[in-house]
Structure 1
Amino acid sequence: MDRALEEIEFLALSPNRIAVLNALRDAPATRRELGAATGASQPTLGRILRDFDDRNWIVRTAEGYDVTATGRLVAAGFTDLREIVETELTLRDVVAWLPTDEMDFDLLALRDATITVPSQTRPGAPVSRVTDTIRGAETVRIVSHAFNERSLETIHRHVRENGQRFEGIFSTAAIDALADEPSLSDRLRELLETDRAEVRVFDGDVPHAVTIADDVLSLMVRDDDGVLQAALDTDNEQVRTWGEDLHERYWERARPLEAADLE
């Protein structure tokens, strides 16, 4: 086996080794302090520290133990690798449908994203998740190829009753679908009558379904047949900035919704 891979395996096979190296990366520590910080027993710590000393990853100091420059390098690199793999595991089941070609941010920004998928008992779980982010938000912005009934009803209620601010951009097909349902088109008309809601129509393809509710961005993920597969949401600043820029680009190219569009 490649020596580098052997060293990666050496660390990966022991959570205690990783914990000790990261603890020393933060600050020098005694064996007692390392035991309290990692939960490792003193015999285990003795073996780990000897192994690290053999590799020149640590040095003894008056304060106990400290990492060397190479020890810090290894700790940082292993942490980066771990974060990459954690992100891949988070996105593994939905990456095929993500608009990655248009995402101008590092995918690591999605490491802590919440993925909500439909199930037999909760087929509408993704829609419910997005609706939950809308409730209580002061400002909601949407750019989407569809405007589902639950989101419309939630926004309608919170704009009219709670002073929520709404800016939505939808495809012509989405507006046509609402116009065909009298109860939904009535709600949309009532929404437009307030001074806190603006809706625009984009005369073209809108491949996205992005909702930004205050600091949370939600992305509805559909397969090639248009079947909803998941909802992804995150409060990561990089991702939210991407969504805000996307909304702004479509907003500038869209036209205000007219009453005639709902006839």
Structure 2
Amino acid sequence: MESALEDIEFLALSANRVEVLDALAETPHTRRELQERIGASQPTLGRILRDFEERNWVEQTGREYAATPTGRLVAEGFSDLREIVETEQRLRDVANWLPTEVMTFDLRRLRDATITAPTQTRPNAPVQRVLGLLRDGAGVKIVSHAFNEQSMGVIRRRVADGTQTFEGVFSAGAIDAIADDSALRERLRELVDLPGAELRIVDDDVPVALTITDDVVHLFLRDDDGLLQAAVDTDDDTVSSWAHDVHDRYWNEARPLNADDLAD
């Protein structure tokens, strides 16, 4: 009997085999239907189907072939493995900076996420990505250990125009950093005073830099030295639900930030 690894290798080494098994796991097909769907030649399909029948992965009824229960199990498991590896490949360069200690969702939810990294020609690309989302968002929520000047400026203008609402929760350190700069402190005071904007402070550390703009969740990823390495954003429903839960939890634990708190 072949080992499990040998069967995995047998399947993985041929895209045609994978496609045939996936097709037959979905619904029965004739050989002609398989040829039209996959594009493989009839001799190739014949060899694949014979190999599958030897492994009891498919069975023939009349002119149609269909996956057996164990064939469907293999197809589903291989599909899961492929999805996991595709996700790992996509996240490989940023995985070390993901806030996995607070991420309660399956990482496969980030398989189709947009990843924005700095480049030599666009060193500020991650920030520009979130600024674009902020300019288009009607409702913005943030939980973060930092509040950069550019984001604050976009939010302040949009809220003042009445085109955006804002609920921000920041660590005390983030607010202190702004308050230490007189110009930034004044801009933050103006934002706090605007109808449609509400800011709160938490004394504990905030392990994420998370922005929710309408249906999009955006994460700034920083290294251990606090340097911005990348940004990840997605409109996945599960990630969105997680992000709103994180915001709600910090929001409920935080205290309001008032303009008086930013007095000179």
Same fold (TM over 0.5): yes
TM-score with structure 1 setting the length: 0.93
1-side partners of 2:136 and 2:63: how far apart?
50
CA RMSD of aligned residues (A): 1.8
Contact 1:218 1:231 in 2 (8 A): yes
Amino acid at match of 1:41: S
SS in 1 for 2:136: coil
Amino acid at match of 1:201: I
TM-score with structure 2 setting the length: 0.93
Is 1:186 matched with 2:204?
Answer: no
The list of structure 1 runs, each at least 4 consecutive aligned residues, that deviate by more than 4 angstroms after superposition, is: none
Contact 2:193 2:259 in 1 (8 A): no
| Equivalent in the alignment of 1:163 | 163
* Deviation for aligned residue 1:5: 0.5
2-side partners of 1:132 and 1:257: how far apart?
26
* Deviation for aligned residue 1:86: 1.3
Contact 1:87 1:111 in 2 (8 A): yes
| Equivalent in the alignment of 2:144 | 144
| Unaligned residue ranges in structure 1 (runs of 5+) | none
Name the CA shift for 1:182/1:36 in 2 (closer, same or farther; >3 Å): farther
1-side partners of 2:185 and 2:36: how far apart?
62
Contact 1:163 1:196 in 2 (8 A): no
Amino acid at match of 1:25: A
| Equivalent in the alignment of 2:257 | 257
Name the CA shift for 1:63/1:217 in 2 (closer, same or farther; >3 Å): farther
| Equivalent in the alignment of 1:94 | 94
Deviates more, 1:69-78 or 1:164-173: 164-173
SS in 2 for 1:102: coil
Contact 1:179 1:261 in 2 (8 A): no
2-side partners of 1:184 and 1:39: how far apart?
62
Contact 1:83 1:108 in 2 (8 A): yes
| Equivalent in the alignment of 1:133 | 133
| Equivalent in the alignment of 2:78 | 78
* Deviation for aligned residue 1:162: 4.8
SS in 1 for 2:161: helix
Is 1:15 matched with 2:7?
Answer: no
Amino acid at match of 1:237: D
Percent identity at matched positions?
Answer: 61
Amino acid at match of 1:217: V
SS in 2 for 1:208: coil
1:1-263 matches, cutoff 5 A: 3-62=3-62, 64-262=64-262, 263=264
2-side partners of 1:132 and 1:222: how far apart?
20
1:16-62, Cα deviation, whole Å (9 max, x unpaired):
11011111111111122112211222222122112112211111124
